[in-house]
Homo-oligomer: A and B are copies of this chain.
Amino acid sequence: MGVVTEDAQNQALQTLKDRLATISDLRAAGAVLGWDRQTYMPPGGLNLRAEQLATLERLAHEMLVSPETGRLLEAAGEQPPGSEDAAVLRLVRRDYGRATKMPARLVAELSRASSLAHAAWEAARAASDWHLFAPHLERVLELRRETVGHLGYEDHPYDALLDLYEPRAKTAKLRAMFEELRTAIVPMIREISALPDEYRSRPLYGSYAEAGQETFGREVITAFGYDWGRGRQDRAVHPFCIDFGGPGDVRITTRFDPGWLSPALFATFHEAGHAIYDQNVDPSYARTPLFGGVSMGVHESQSRLWENLVGRSRAFWSFYYPALQKTFPEALGAVSAEAFYRAINEVRPAEIRVEADELTYNLHILLRFELELELIEGDLSVSELPAAWNARMEGYLGVTPENDAKGVLQDVHWAAGLFGYFPTYTIGNVLAAQLYEAAVLARPEIPGEIGRGEFGALRGWLRENVHRHGSRYDPDELVERATGRPPDTAPYLSYLKAKFGELYGL
C-alpha cells in the first residue's frame, strides 16, 4: 500500500511538473514578446502586443490557480526534505497560495490601475506636475494595501509586499540593516561634502563614440564570462537583462550616450552580472520553478558585484585602463589611470538615484523604504509625499531636488505598484560585498586575477556557491551556505570605508 501511495505521489508530481513547464513556456513566450517590444518592435505593433502579452499572462495565471494545480499539489505530498523536488513543491505552494489568495477582481484592477498610473506618471514627470500622478498613485496604493490584506502577514503589513520580491524578508530586519548603513554612511557623506569640490567625474564626459563603447564593453563582459552563444546584447531605452526560462538564452540590453561614458559602460557590466547568474543556473532547472535567481536582492548582488566590486576597482582598471585609453584617445589620452579611477568613484550627493555613486545610492533607497513604510502603514498620505521626499533628501543627502520630476517623480516603480521592491537594491549591495569577501577568502588569487583581466576564479566560486542553485534555497539559506553566515552589513561597510576612506582621505 505504501508503494501505491508513493507511485500516486510521484505521478502527481510528474503531472505537476509538466504543468509547470507549460506555465514556464507561456511566461517565457511573454518574455520574448516583451524583449521584442523593447528592442525591435515597430510602433504599430503596440496594441496587438499588449493583447498578446495579456493573453499569455492570463493563461499562465489560470493554469497556476486552477483547482487541478491545487489537487496535484496535495497529491504530490511531501518529497524528501532538502531535495530538489521538495524545493519545487515549496516554491509552487508559495506561488499557488499567493495567486489563489488574490481575488481575480483585484488582480485585474491592479493591472488596469497600474497601466493608467504608468501613463499618468510619464505625463506628470514630463510636466513635473505631481497632481497629474497623485490620484493614480492613490488608487494603486489603495489596491496594494488591499493586496496586503489578502496575502496576510505575521509582523508587519509591508512584509507581505517585501516577500513578493525578497522571499522571507522582514521589515524589522531591513530597518536594522538600513540603520546600520545610515549610521555609517551619512557621516562619511557629510565629511566628503565638506571637502572642496573637485568635480572629479569630468573626464567621463567627452567624445565617446558609440562603436568604441560597444566594443570595449563586449570585450570586458566576455572576459567576465558572459556567454554569447547563449545570449546577445541589443539596444533599448532602458538597459535590462531577460531570460526565457532556462540558461540557454539570457539577453541583455544597453543604451549609449556618445558624450558620456558611464551609463553604457556600467550598465553593461551590471546587466552582464545578472546574465552570468542566469546563464550558470543548473541546466536541468530549465522550465521549472528552480530556474532563475532566488530573489531580487540576490540577483542584484550579482549585478552590483560585477559593476562595482569588480568594475569600479583599482585592480580592474590597472589592467583595462590602457585599452580604454586607446579606444578613446581624445577623451582619455591626457587622463591618468588614477584620475580615471577617482572619476568613476566620485561621491556627489545628487537628486537622481540611477546616477548615484556607491555611497549615496543606499540613502536614496533608505528614503524610499521609509516613505513606502509610512504609506503602507497609513502614516503618510500621497498628498504629503513630495514634501516628505524633499525633506528627507535634504536630511540624508543635503540636496533639494530642482523639481518633482527630479524628485518624487523620478522612478517608475510606484506607478507599477512595486512597493517593497526598492529595498532589494540595497540588499543587493550588501550581499555583493558579503559574497565577494567569502569568494576572496576561499580563492585568495581573485584580486590578483582581476588585476590581470582574468575572472575565472571569481566566476567559478560564484557559479558553485550561488548561480547553479537557482531558486533552490531561500535567500538567507543560500547566503549562509555560501558565506558561512546570514546576511550581514559588516563586509559592505568595511568595503565602503576602506574604498572611500582611501579615496577621500577620511
Q: Which residues of A contact B (CB under 8 A)?
A: 21-22, 25-26, 28-30, 32-33, 36, 40-49, 51-52, 55-56, 59, 227-232, 234, 244-249, 251, 286-287
Contacts and interface: CB of A to CB of B under 8 A. Distances in A.
A245 to B, nearest CB: 6
How many copies of this kind of chain does the complex include?
A: 2
Contacts of A26: 55-56, 59
Given A32-B32, A36-B36, A59-B59, A248 B25 contact: no
A246 B36 contact: no
A389 B25 CA distance: 43
Contacts of A45: 230, 244, 248-249
Given A36-B36, A56-B25, A59-B22, A228 B48 contact: no
B48 A249 contact: yes
Given A33-B29, A42-B232, A287 B249 contact: no
Name, among A21, A40, A287, the residue most crowded by chain B CB atoms within 10 Å (CB to CB).
Answer: A40
Contact of A49 (B47, B232, B249): B249
A287 to B, nearest CB: 6
Name, among A30, A33, A45, A245, the residue most crowded by chain B CB atoms within 10 Å (CB to CB).
Answer: A45
Nearest to A54: B25
A29 B56 contact: yes
A312 B30 CA distance: 42
B46 A25 contact: no
A55 to B, nearest CB: 4
Nearest to A55: B25
A245 B52 CA distance: 9
A20 B29 CA distance: 19
Contacts of A55: 21-22, 25-26, 29
B21 A51 contact: yes
Given A40-B40, A44-B248, 7 more contacts: A22-B59, A29-B29, A40-B234, A42-B229, A43-B230, A48-B286, A52-B244
Nearest to A37: B32
A51 B249 CA distance: 13
Contacts of A234: 40
Name, among A40, A227, A228, A249, the residue most crowded by chain B CB atoms within 10 Å (CB to CB).
Answer: A249
A32 B42 contact: no
A287 B248 contact: no
A45 B483 CA distance: 32
Contacts of A36: 32, 36
